[in-house]
Structure 1
């Protein structure tokens, strides 16, 4: 049986989870429809999800459809949980993007569609809620063409929209307007079809058009638009037929090299770790060792798989193996994390498709005695979501988290209280800035020469790199000039040190080159005892590298950049007067302004740190009619006072204090650190 790994994506409240429930019911997996309002849905299994009525974690459920096993992955719709969506994208064969027939195309809809297009994930668009008051399929179809893609084609007509009796009629070969639209759209990507159409448009059989529609949809060139209601089931038959006809099934050879992606990690009842893996190639079997590694890891870890479950027809029964194309749950991989690769790495396994978190907050236990319990709980949450990026400040006894928004913070707080019995408070949320080198800078320290107290020679040069490339480490010394373990110590320490630049922010878009290296070989006394005072160790390189790197950074100089959002603001034209001074005060930079009758459209960029105030003030300034959409747009230089972030390391910017904490003990004592 073929397999289709299908993601269901949407802006929050578009009806994505309700659609999932309807599909499961129609496929015979459930005997009755689950309800988001009642907290009885199959995929929103967490108590917090049921109580809030939103999806927080991705969930997998399988059903059979026309000879195809569909692994349906329900994803969160709220932008604060976009990291969950990102992890799912890497395992999909196709997607259904849900749009509300009432609210239409919304901010998150556009973000999701741009990403699906960029990744060429074949996608069907489902316009849901045609039975709700205010539903307007024609308006939403125009929005889809204007804001999402012009390569969209309506697959059905809606009759009685906005009423409980709304019905959907699928188009066919006897609908000339539909076939003409298909021909116009499909001939843009097929020269042979275009030639046949030019010769005689009436000679193109509908079967050929339908076949081309399937081929071009699978290539991510065309986007069929279906209409219906998850609540009543109207239009669902046509959508379900489209899943197997228009979307590609999984490839990969079961007897090939093992390769898969872990897109979710959770804990079982006994605290055991369970990894959700999509297999792209090969077969994983129980009782066999399985290598796995994270992005950029130098060497894979390995552990024996102790149990496997494979998703099938509403359940996940235990199996001896999981093969290419399937999704399974693996037990026994104690060190595995979300985002890891099992077996052979995919070429783009460490790509990020959405913006990184742009906010940071300090989390504090209400009971000081819960500090250790909080650390353990947050470590488990970081296994599931690496992007929360725990930042430990041992000097102040604080832990910081990276966040996408306030709702995510509320969910983390509730999760810690309910699942770990740890009550916490959060301090003020701040924007996560970055630093970039302003120029080039170099520094070096030579072994056995003042002021270097370490038995190591390290020279580093920092150069700016193109925006968006992160940080890179390069060798400008021969690889054999010193032991590999010392080279690795320098490289690892460089990346660790770059997490806190001159102003305490992560240093991005730079290249660090190792320009000088040297060490003292292992020395022993005549009786064969290792003499540490005469021999270099990896610790020498780990302790010296931060001093040299920060000296090079100081010479290069860095500039602090703050995260900014691209905004689209629709408001009554007569409210532009009160809005303009507010936007200026919030350091928003309008790029375009357009007046359409009584409405005004503003587009521009605004710092992340200022968006909350704009959202708070907007209803009062626009009589409740203002509509704001925001999406991450990158970073721009900070205007005004440069924000400084407290350091959590031994502060290599201040040499004397740094050496007091890490100076090498060579008189028979251990290394500091």
Structure 2
């Protein structure tokens, strides 16, 4: 049996989860359609999802269409959870992008469509809510062609639009207008078809056009458009047929080397992890030993080291649920147990398959906000840290910073709604009541140039039995921290070498101004240690012999000295914005953009509206979102997505340090060793 791994995506409230329920009902998986408003849908299982009527975590559910098993992945629609969507996209064969026939093409719809096109994911469009008052047909098609893709092919017409009796009628072989439109669109993607079309448009048979439509749709060249209603079921039968005809089934060699990608991790009450894995090659069986790690991470994040685990159980998806299976093969999605160190984004498989092939690694946009999570009860500080650590394992794009000096935990997020999710999860799953401080923007530091420093053992002012020399150089954005040696690997014990590297990476989380330095090349230039020595009675003397602590405590001082010599510049996150406003409001919008430090490009006229694109500091996006409805009488459409980091203009922002402050040598030494060299 063939498998289709299908994603359902949409702007929030377009009816994505309702469509999922309707598809499951039509396939006989569920007897009664759940309601988003009542919190009774199959895929929204979290309490907060049911309360708010939004999807927060991706969910997988399966149904059968003919000889095809469809693994349907219901993804979040709210922009705060775009990282959850991006993780799911990497495992899809095809997607359905849901629009509303009333609201039409919305801001998040455009963001999702551009992402699908960038990743070459074949996509069908489903225009939902044709039974709602205010629903439109021709206008929505025009907006799709203007805003999403010109290669959109309407697959039918709508009767009694905007009424409860609205119905979708698929185009048939006798519909000349459909054949003409279809031939015109398909000819753009096939030279042979274009030649036949130019010679004699009427010579192209319906069967040939449908065959070419399926081929180009499976390649993501054209995008069929269906209309319907998830509530009444109108158009759903045609869409279901289109899934197997117009989207490609999962591929991969089940006899090849095992390789898959982890896109979701769940943790059972006892702590055991279950990894959701899309298999791209080979077959994984119960009791197989698998390497996992080195998968996709957020921009600048360190790759996880590969680790190994033994698969103790496998589930595959069938008819709305999951069932135990002895194996999961290429093209399918499975739930794997027995991999304790697995994380979202990991590649799993045989030894030679763990690292992703070139070009398959995706960088997710980093979170740009940070907040402090505070327990309502002081006794919950320890449990809070443990709970947040578990949440970060399930979502590696939520970063944690532990401030030991102040006893605080900092959490990085994508938006304010995520605060509510974290707060509700901590309360429901861990019994912890917490509050949040106001969110602040996360900046980074980049090196101005190279810098070197060294501390030599037995030479003032170095109080440690260790020699460490480091050279730090700038690296391209997104390259991460690269570490190398100019000293012989055997010049001192490996444990000391590892202590230096680990401490370098940890120290770079807080640069001169307190922000992370995500991209640089660090080279160890000097090394030295004092061998293990003992007194006459063979008692180990720590004061005469180097220990790992000497290297861990000395390295931050060397790193900071090198950073001072190199110099750093603080960069703030910038979002690319795309803003469409009515022409009559253009004059009122420009001064606001200027006050928010946005840098727009030259405007483009689009009918009776202006289109502006440019960059805006991430810290100012929320203010623009709040002011835009008033400025444009509710007609403005704003899309924003992380673009890059840019040097801060004006005052240099700093972040309070959470380490022992190696920038201040005297205080640092008093904290870590209770002594100051030369004192």
What is the aligned partner in structure 2 of residue 412 from structure 1? 422
Is 1:211–2:211 an aligned residue pair? yes
Describe the shift of the 1:202–1:276 C-alpha distance in structure 2 as closer, same or farther (beyond 3 A): same
Aligned to 1:670: none
Tell me which moved more, 243-252 or 515-524. Answer: 515-524
Encode CA deviations 1:587-608: one digit per residue, 9 max, x unaligned: 2223233566765544433222
Aligned partners of 2:230 and 2:236 also within 8 Å: yes
- Judge which range, 350-359 or 504-513, deviates more: 350-359
CA shift, 1:450, in A, is 2.8
Instruction: Measure, in 1, the Cα distance between the counterparts of 2:621 and 2:21.
Output: 35
Does structure 2 conserve the Cα–Cα contact (< 8 Å) formed by 1:493 and 1:545? yes
Identify the residue that residue 166 of structure 2 maps to in structure 1.
Answer: 166
Shift of the 577–146 alpha-carbon distance from structure 1 to 2, 3 Å rule, reads closer
Report the counterpart of residue 517 of structure 2 in structure 1: 507
Describe the SS at the equivalent of 1:39.
coil
Q: Tell me how far 1:30 sits from its aligned partner.
A: 0.9
Q: Secondary structure, in 3 states, of the residue corresponding to 1:507?
A: coil
527-536 or 72-81: which moved more?
Answer: 527-536
Maintained 8 Å contact 1:363/1:425: yes
- TM-fit CA distance, 1:396: 0.4
Residue number in structure 1 paired with 2:298: none
Conserved? CA contact 1:86–1:352, under 8 Å? no
Q: Could you tell which deviates more after superposition, 291-300 or 550-559?
A: 291-300
Correspondences of 1:325-404 after superposition (within 5 Å): 325-343=331-349, 344-345=353-354, 346-347=356-357, 351-404=361-414
Judge which range, 114-123 or 213-222, deviates more.
213-222
Deviation at 1:283, TM superposition (A): 2.8
Residues 664 and 294 (structure 1), Cα distance of their counterparts in 2 relative to 1, 3 Å cut:
farther
Partner of residue 671, structure 1: none
- Unmatched runs of 5 consecutive residues or more in structure 1: 666-673
> Would you say the 8 A contact 2:294–2:304 is kept in 1?
no
CA distance in 2, matches of 1:220, 1:487: 50
Matched, 1:148 2:148: yes
Distance in 1 of aligned mates of 2:151 and 2:490: 55
What's 1:669 paired with?
Answer: none
SS in structure 1 of the partner of residue 278 of structure 2: strand
Which residue number in structure 1 is paired with residue 450 of structure 2? Answer: 440
Give the TM-score normalised by structure 1.
Answer: 0.91
Distance in 2, matches of 1:365 and 1:543, equals 31
Q: Distance in 2 between matches of 1:191 and 1:571?
A: 39
Corresponding residue number in structure 2 for 1:646: 656
Shift of 1:44: 0.6
Partner of 1:585: 595
Deviations 1:426-453 (A, max 9, x none): 1110011111112222223334433333
Partner residue, 1:36: 36
Matched, 1:102 2:102: yes
Farther-moved stretch of structure 1 (315-324 vs 515-524):
515-524
In structure 1, what is the Cα distance between the partners aligned to 2:43 and 2:627?
Answer: 36
Contact 1:305 1:332 in 2 (8 A): yes
Cα 1:528/1:123, change in 2 over 3 Å: farther
Residue 239 of structure 2 is matched in structure 1 by: 239
**Cα gap change, 1:166 to 1:497, in 2 (>3 Å):** same
1:145–1:368: structure 2 CA closer, same or farther, 3 Å change rule?
same
Cα distance in 2 between the residues matched to 1:466 and 1:628: 30
Contact 2:15 2:98 in 1 (8 A): yes
User: Any residues of structure 2 matched to 1:261-272 within 5 Å, and which?
Assistant: 261-272=261-272
Q: Match for residue 194 of structure 2?
A: 194
Helix, strand or coil at the partner of 1:347 = coil
Unaligned runs of 5+ in 2: 296-301
Q: Does 1:566 align with 2:576?
A: yes
Partner of 2:309: 303
Distance in 1 between residues matched to 2:574 and 2:496, nearest whole Å? 39
* From 406, 424, 437, the counterpart of 2:434: 424
3-state SS of paired residue (1:451): coil
Offset from partner CA, 1:462-483 (integer Å, 9 cap, x none) = 2223333333334444555555
Shift of 1:200: 4.2
Q: Secondary structure of the residue that 1:189 maps to in structure 2? A: coil
| Structure 2 equivalent of residue 115 of structure 1 | 115
Deviations 1:498-548 (A, max 9, x none): 211111111133332333444455567788776655555544443333222
Alignment of 1:56-71 (within 5 A): 56-71=56-71
Q: Provide the C-alpha distance between the structure 1 equivalents of 2:89 and 2:284, rounded to a whole number of angstroms.
A: 22
- Map of 1:668 onto structure 2: none
Q: How does 1:313-324 map to 2 (within 5 A)?
A: 313-324=319-330
Counterparts of 1:129 and 1:445, CA distance in 2: 69
Does the CA-based 8 Å contact 1:294-1:337 persist in structure 2?
no
Cα pair distance change 1:477/1:170, threshold 3 Å: farther
Give the conservation status (yes or no) of the 8 Å contact 1:15–1:98.
yes
Tell me the number of residue pairs that the alignment of Structure 1 and Structure 2 aligns: 665
Cα separation, 1, equivalents of 2:338 and 2:359? 22
CA contact (8 A) 2:660 2:668 kept: yes
SS at match of 2:620: helix
> Higher mean Cα deviation, 510-519 or 544-553?
510-519
- Check conservation: 1:593, 1:600, Cα contact below 8 A: yes
Deviations 1:220-240 (A, max 9, x none): 222222222111212112211
Alignment partner of 2:603: what SS? Answer: strand
Report which stretch shifted further, 434-443 or 488-497. Answer: 488-497
The answer to which of 72-81 and 640-649 deviates more is: 640-649
| Aligned equivalents of 1:487, 1:119: Cα separation in 2 | 40
The secondary structure found in structure 2 opposite 1:125 is strand
The change in CA–CA distance for 1:368 and 1:298 in structure 2 (over 3 A counts) is closer
- 2:157 alignment partner in structure 1: 157
SS at match of 2:4: strand
Equivalent residue, structure 2, for 1:125: 125
Task: Indicate how the Cα distance of structure 1 residues 469 and 162 shifts in structure 2: closer, same or farther if over 3 A, else same.
Answer: farther
